[in-house]
Amino acid sequence: MADLLGDLTRTHTCGGLRTGDVGADAVLLGWVHRVRDLGGVTFIDIRDRAGVSQIVVREDEALMAAAKRLRSEFVVAVSGIVQRRSEDTINTKIATGEVEVLAREIRILSEAKTPPFSIADDAQVSEEVRLRYRYLDLRRARMQQNIGLRHRVTLAIRNALDAQGFWEIETPILTKSTPEGARDYLVPSRVHPGEFYALPQSPQLFKQILMIGGMDRYFQIATCFRDEDLRADRQPEFTQIDLEMSFGTPADLMQLLEGLVAAIFKDCRGVEIPRPFPQMSYKDCVEQYGTDRPDLRFGMPLVRLDEIAKQSTFSVFQSELAAGGCIKGICVKGGGELSRREIDNFTQLVGKFGVGGLAWMKLQEDGLTSSIVKFFSSDLLESTVKTMKMEKGDLLLIAAGAQDRVNQALDHLRRKIARDLNLIPQDALKFLWVTDFPLLRWDADAKRLESEHHPFTSPNFADIGLLDKDPLKVRALAYDMVLNGYEIGGGSQRIHSSELQEKIFQILKLAPQEIKEKFGFFVEALQYGTPPHLGFAFGLDRIVMILTRTENIRDVIAFPKTQKASDLMMQCPSPVAKIQLDELKLKTAETTEIPWL
């Protein structure tokens, strides 16, 4: 067979040369990163996935001429001899910085137009341009590192789960539409006109069916789909590390998942994660941090001040308490230095969440000072300092109002202050299990109960008696894993009794016909010997974001879509030919005729 590279075979990667290679013949293949023509000598940096090497061209006239033709992003093959750099040209910033290749031959394999942005600089480029020219963006070091890391993470997960007896099993992408929560993407069927497949929002039913099918331990790195109006950190298709096991307990699973996460962080970031992770009930989380995914990299818990406020004469507190609200404070360490204007900003922030104002007190040499201390007795003030664990120079911020609003406002405020005051230690990794979620919530619009997670979540067995009497008090056997304030995964014990499953469907007020159409096969399957089983799903994108220290989900996906669910490179979605729709017996309001089809 003919050979495009002729006699040239890569001997080293561009990132792989070291002083140990000095004297060796080398053939490097890669992209022209930078060219510096210094007259008698030309330096060419060439780049591949592994890094950058310096090529030196000197003396030989034909070579000098060849070097002159090179432009950024040309693809070249260079052969030559590896030599030590002269002292003054050593670059300690890169791994290949002590050596260079004295060129013997330079062969251009591909020319390149001038790219719309430089690959070599890490200059800021608009995301639209980056996505439009994704193939150029992917050449940049940061994207290559992210994509490489994503590969290592998924491989580490697969090997770790295999070692625990989990089998990776593919579940279908063309599945049944059972809209519940999010909107399905639909796929019209040609063979069955008028009928549709749906793309899966998760493999939930399939993985439970696999347990009923005796597969014992399943996992999958699964693509999932949601046709939602996208938030900044969402994608219409996203990747889930999905797993399910039979015959285990939540404690078994949590231990196993901690080991999995520790393996990933060890393999991919070289850090040891202390285990076991702390656990906190949903109720305690919300009480102490105002959220079910608290960021534990810094302190500043929310502290309830109802009792103290009740004894004060401050009418605002009194009337909020009388209206059934609550009073909560956070203590900002050293926050006494903050200006009035900064505090006003905080007030504005809590206002967005419907909390009318933010009272404050500073602990100074002579005690608490504030415009509202006059409403508090000195005993009360002393008690406040103690309750809030304040020290001199600290600032106390107090919010009053309806419980949900105060919690939400103080959660946001707490995180804003942590960012503003640089309270978040770089590289800290604070894991937390949140447990004992409520099973149900009240949907005021639909006037019915809804599942907090999904209808297959098992109630806590201690609470089953409450299902009829006080359903909102029933705790679920559900658990989320939280890292640095992000929910990185969640799971639950599943219902394995068909009677209990039917009861839950009834509580959710699903019509019998609807149960039958959507979940009939599943309720039937439960009757044929279902093992106790439980499972979990991690958001892979989020985990890779944390590992790569990016806030942009599109930086960890090779070909992401925009917030309008478009692929700017491929230009899709796009119109299709009329014949394609005719075959599907479909009509769309806005069909475009495409002339060549």
Q: According to CB under 8 A, which residues from 137 to 156 bind a second copy?
A: 137-139, 144, 147-148, 150-151, 154-155
Residues 279-318 that bind a second copy (CB under 8 A): none
CB of 200 to a second copy, least distance (A): 10
Among 44, 46, 82, 199, binds a second copy (CB under 8 A): 199
Which residues have C-beta within 8 Å of that of residue 149, sequence separation ≥ 6?
268, 544, 547, 548
Q: Which helix (H) or strand (E) holds 218?
A: strand 217-225
Of 285, 301, 295, 302, the closest CA to residue 438 belongs to 285
Burial of 246 (0-12, 13-18, 19+ CB in 10 A): buried
Residue 328 interacting with a second copy (CB under 8 A): no
Antiparallel, parallel or unpaired: β 395-401 and 326-332: antiparallel
Residues binding a second copy: what is the number (CB under 8 A)? 147
Residue 102 interacting with a second copy (CB under 8 A): no
Which residues have C-beta within 8 Å of that of residue 457, sequence separation ≥ 6?
439, 451, 476, 477, 478, 492, 493, 494, 495
Residues 20-79 that bind a second copy (CB under 8 A): 29, 31-32, 47-50, 73-75
CB of 573 to a second copy, least distance (A): 4
Which residues have C-beta within 8 Å of that of residue 134, sequence separation ≥ 6?
558, 559, 568, 569
Residues 76-95 that bind a second copy (CB under 8 A): none
Residue 569 interacting with a second copy (CB under 8 A): yes
Nearer to a second copy, 19 or 159 (CB): 159
Among 255, 460, 550, 552, binds a second copy (CB under 8 A): 460
Nearer to a second copy, 136 or 296 (CB): 136
Among 236, 485, 491, 535, binds a second copy (CB under 8 A): 236
Cα 188 to its chain centre, rounded Å, is: 31
Residue 227 interacting with a second copy (CB under 8 A): yes
CB of 185 to a second copy, least distance (A): 5
Among 187, 466, 500, 523, binds a second copy (CB under 8 A): 187
Residue 461 interacting with a second copy (CB under 8 A): yes
Radius of gyration of the chain (CA): 30
Using CA atoms, how far residue 418 sits from 60, 188, 337, in Å, is 60, 49, 15
Residue 121 interacting with a second copy (CB under 8 A): no
The 3 state secondary structure assigned to 13-57 is CCCCCCHHHCCCEEEEEEEEEEEEECCCEEEEEEEECCEEEEEEE
Among 65, 69, 89, 111, binds a second copy (CB under 8 A): 111
Residue 125 interacting with a second copy (CB under 8 A): no
Residue 129 interacting with a second copy (CB under 8 A): no
What whole-number distance in Å separates Cα of residue 462 and Cα of residue 438? 13
CB of 440 to a second copy, least distance (A): 17
Nearer to a second copy, 155 or 472 (CB): 155
Residue 496 interacting with a second copy (CB under 8 A): yes
DSSP 175: B
Among 192, 231, 340, 374, binds a second copy (CB under 8 A): 192
CB of 113 to a second copy, least distance (A): 5
The one-letter amino acid at 292 = D
The one-letter amino acid at 509 = K
Using CA atoms, how far residue 414 sits from 278, 298, 372, 404, in Å, is 21, 9, 22, 15
Residue 186 interacting with a second copy (CB under 8 A): yes
Nearer to a second copy, 54 or 171 (CB): 171
Nearer to a second copy, 159 or 377 (CB): 159
Residues 543-562 that bind a second copy (CB under 8 A): 557-559, 561
Residues 154-183 that bind a second copy (CB under 8 A): 154-155, 158-159, 162, 167-177, 179, 183
Give the residue carrying structure tokens 């004894």.
311
Nearer to a second copy, 376 or 519 (CB): 519
Q: Please, what is the end-to-end C-alpha distance for the chain in angstroms?
A: 37
Residues 502-541 that bind a second copy (CB under 8 A): 511, 513-514, 517, 520-521, 525, 527-532
Among 83, 85, 104, 115, binds a second copy (CB under 8 A): 115
In 430-442, which positions are buried (b, 16+ CB within 10 angstroms) versus exposed (e)?
A: bbbbbbbbbbbee
What whole-number distance in Å separates Cα of residue 11 and Cα of residue 29? 9
Nearer to a second copy, 289 or 519 (CB): 519
CB of 340 to a second copy, least distance (A): 45
Nearer to a second copy, 212 or 410 (CB): 212
Residues 375-394 that bind a second copy (CB under 8 A): none
Residues 232, 235, 241, 242: what is their CA dihedral angle, to the nearest 10 degrees?
A: 120
CB of 499 to a second copy, least distance (A): 10
